[in-house]
A and B are shown apart, each in its own frame.
Chain A
Amino acid sequence: EAGVVQSPRYKIIEKKQPVAFWCNPISGHNTLYWYRQNLGQGPELLIRYENEEAVDDSQLPKDRFSAERLKGVDSTLKIQPAELGDSAVYLCASSPRTGENTEAFFGQGTRLTVV
């Protein structure tokens, strides 16, 4: 079974440019997460989806970040415009059901470098 697939793996952009990341969760997983991981830190939640609904976007910087999961499967995360401080690894994760004890399966992430 394929895991969580993210693309691209690496992205280098100049500040003020837009960038988008794509995530394909594990088939059948209704819950999808986007996390940001800075170097030497643990992942921080940006947004959580249940199917196509964003049920927790409280930590998403909405002035420049947006996300969508139109059909409740794939998801995209966009930054416009990017700032130097956005350099990080953006991780997508999915889980098969909503539950506090449900493990999340992570993708390998997209490493963003803003120059």
Chain B
Amino acid sequence: GQNIDQPTEMTATEGAIVQINCTYQTSGFNGLFWYQQHAGEAPTFLSYNVLDGLEEKGRFSSFLSRSKGYSYLLLKELQMKDSASYLCAVTNDYKLSFGAGTTVTVRA
């Protein structure tokens, strides 16, 4: 079975940094995705990790530790437009299994 856990909600101030954690226990693993989803909109791709370590892409970074079944998404220099749900997803055998998502609210 697939078990992917992330916090339900997080709140942060504009300009700050927020770290969204994701832990997973899955029957197989071929990589981990992070998607951003604004309310009522389509999920959009943020990052993909398959090897341990940190991937940096502008204000967003994603980290993976396969031995710990753990990933995090780091959002720096938060902007109001970053208010959204962030979905962690594990891929195995071409099947994406999503966590429930973390709703991030950015306050002025």
Contacts and interface: CB of A to CB of B under 8 A. Distances in A.
Task: Please determine whether chains A and B interact with each other in the same assembly.
Answer: yes
Interface of A: 3-4, 33, 40-45, 48, 55-56, 91, 98, 100-101, 103-109
Interface residues of B, number: 25
Contacts, number: 57
**Which 9 A-B residue pairs are closest in the complex by CB-CB distance?**
A42-B98, A106-B42, A100-B30, A103-B45, A106-B43, A108-B42, A41-B100, A100-B91, A43-B98
Given A41-B101, A42-B87, A42-B89, A104 B42 contact: no
Interface of B: 4, 30-31, 33, 35, 40-45, 48, 50, 87, 89, 91-92, 94-101
A56 B101 contact: no
Nearest to B48: A101
22 contacts: A3-B42, A4-B42, A40-B100, A41-B100, A41-B101, A42-B89, A42-B99, A43-B98, A48-B94, A48-B95, A56-B94, A100-B30, A100-B50, A100-B91, A100-B92, A101-B31, A103-B33, A104-B45, A105-B45, A106-B35, A106-B43, A108-B41
A56 B95 contact: yes
